[in-house]
Amino acid sequence: MGLNKKSVDDINVKGRRVLVRCDFNVPLKNGEITDETRIVAALPTIKKLIGDGGKVILCSHLGKVKNGPNEGESLAPVAKRLSEKLGKEVKFISDYNVTGADATAAVEAMNEGDVVLLQNTRFRGKEETKPEEAGDAFAKELADLADDYVCDAFGSAHRAHASVAGVTKFITEKGGSNVVGYLMQKEIDFLGNAVENPVRPFVAILGGAKVADKLNVINTLLEKCDTLIIGGGMAYTFLKAKGYEIGKSLLDETKIDYCKEMMEKAEKSGKKLLLPIDTVCIDDFPNPIDDPSIATTIVDADKIPADKEGADIGPKTIALYADAVKSAKTVVWNGPMGVFENPVLATGTKEVAKALSETSATTIIGGGDSAAAVNQLGYADKMSHISTGGGASLEFLEGKKLPGVYAADNR
């Protein structure tokens, strides 16, 4: 891929107004932040810019904002938490218009090292529209507040939105720099360059419910890796494609041929494609999902009874997958091996996380569920990199050009 983007280390922001797009899309419960990972991940860049004497203007979206601006999706709780983390005031501009008189006045009053946080960028519906439509107007208003632009919002880098990519055009027009922050740089280094140019053997582990969600990533990783391991709900469509009966297990009927194609592709190119050889079966999907009293039976992958459904990988599969991880030098993992939300059906996911924690290989965890699983199981500090992006990390692994990455200036 050869990504060589300018970073915050390449610019001098002293006395300059710097607009920083972060991904502060954190989960909230009753107005309280329940996972501050994304806020913590943004701190190195923010601290660097403060330390260099920049005037730091932060922006982000939060939530989907389907029904217009509302207090439930305000960035106010983020301003508060961020201020605690930085140990200094983060001036929050609560104006639902995001830009405008309040934001302009606050920026004008800034001294070197001050920090301002704008309101949720999705409160401006225009954030969502195509740049050539009204999104351009909002992008220009954002650019008008600043001299330079830093994108550190890896989790949003797959969105061609005004605050993620559109703004760069206007910064360039007035002679400013568009660079990536430290978080973005780390994500590019691990997900991009490590996958493009991995130390081998390179093992990729994919899980999750649906084959349909992972079509391109399966195809791309099969080309790059030495061994591709499949687990989770989507493994059953592969087993079906092998001609096995899978009972009531998850089946992506329309993707059976695709799975056959992938198995042939692996065979032809001499890649190992590992599928479950045994599986943990249940009678019905747990309700509630974390019901700890659910009964299970373990069967070989080609002997799933007609009235049962697979819900996790079995012990023989765990041993097989752990063994593949042991001899790897680079491992990328995206997607749980079973219904990990249930303590009885989390063993496969847990054991794969454990295997990754014990290897000396470079271990890269895609965002979303696999990151949540690794955090929840307490292995986070044992991994080389845990991505802060869900959809973004998947699209990056597919080899797609993420708008937020590509908008930054080249070195």
Q: Which does 208 bind (CB under 5 to 8 A by kind): ligand 3PG, Mg ion, none?
A: none
The residue among 161 and 224 lying less far from ligand 3PG, judged by its C-beta, is 161
Which one of 156, 168, 178, 317 is in contact with ligand 3PG (CB under 6 A)? 156
Residue numbers 376-395 binding Mg ion by CB under 5 A: 391
Side chain identity, residue 372: A
The residue among 155 and 314 lying less far from ligand 3PG, judged by its C-beta, is 155
C-alpha span between 327 and 265 (Å, rounded)? 23
The residue among 150 and 392 lying less far from Mg ion, judged by its C-beta, is 392
> Of all residues in this chain, which one has the CB nearest to Mg ion in the complex?
391
Query: Is 391 in the active site?
Result: yes
Query: Is 6 in the active site?
Result: no
C-alpha span between 59 and 116 (Å, rounded)? 9
Give least dist CB 379 to ligand 3PG, A: 22
Q: Which does 141 bind (CB under 5 to 8 A by kind): ligand 3PG, Mg ion, none?
A: none
Which residue reads 């002293």 in tokens?
14
- Residue (of 156, 163, 59) closest to 117 by Cα position: 59
C-alpha span between 184 and 152 (Å, rounded)? 5
- Check if the beta carbon of residue 18 is closer than 8 Å to that of residue 54: yes
- Check if the beta carbon of residue 75 is closer than 8 Å to that of residue 120: yes
Q: Looking at 125-214, list the stretches that DSSP marks H as alpha helix, in order from N- to C-terminal side.
A: 136-144, 167-173, 182-187, 194-196
Catalytic residue among 47, 391, 399, 400: 391
Q: Which does 64 bind (CB under 5 to 8 A by kind): Mg ion, ligand 3PG, none?
A: ligand 3PG
C-alpha span between 99 and 19 (Å, rounded)? 12
Q: Which does 207 bind (CB under 5 to 8 A by kind): ligand 3PG, Mg ion, none?
A: none
C-alpha span between 96 and 74 (Å, rounded)? 9
C-alpha span between 111 and 256 (Å, rounded)? 60
Catalytic residue among 5, 16, 17, 38: 38
Q: Per-residue x/- marks for ligand 3PG, 72-111, CB under 6 A?
A: ----------------------------------------
Query: Does 391 contact ligand 3PG by CB under 6 A?
Result: yes
Query: Does 390 contact ligand 3PG by CB under 6 A?
Result: yes
Query: Is 314 in the active site?
Result: no
∠ CA 162-176-102 to the nearest 5 degrees?
55
End-to-end CA distance of the chain: 14
Catalytic residue among 210, 242, 329, 400: 210
Structure tokens that stand for 105 in this block: 């006045």
Q: Per-residue x/- marks for ligand 3PG, 22-61, CB under 6 A?
A: -x-x------------------------------------
Residue numbers 343-372 binding ligand 3PG by CB under 6 A: none
> Of all residues in this chain, which one has the CB nearest to ligand 3PG in the complex?
25
Which one of 152-160, 169-177, 221-229, 372-380 is the stretch in contact with ligand 3PG (CB under 6 A)? 152-160
Q: Residues of 142-163 as b/e, b for ≥16 C-beta within 10 angstroms? A: bbbbbbbbbbbbbbbbbbbbbb
Catalytic residue among 368, 389, 390, 404: 368
- Check if the beta carbon of residue 374 is closer than 8 Å to that of residue 354: no
Q: How many residues bind Mg ion (CB under 5 A)?
A: 1
Q: Which residues are catalytic?
A: 38, 210, 368, 391
**Positions in the binding site for Mg ion (CB under 5 A):** 391
**Positions in the binding site for ligand 3PG (CB under 6 A):** 23, 25, 64, 155-156, 159, 390-391
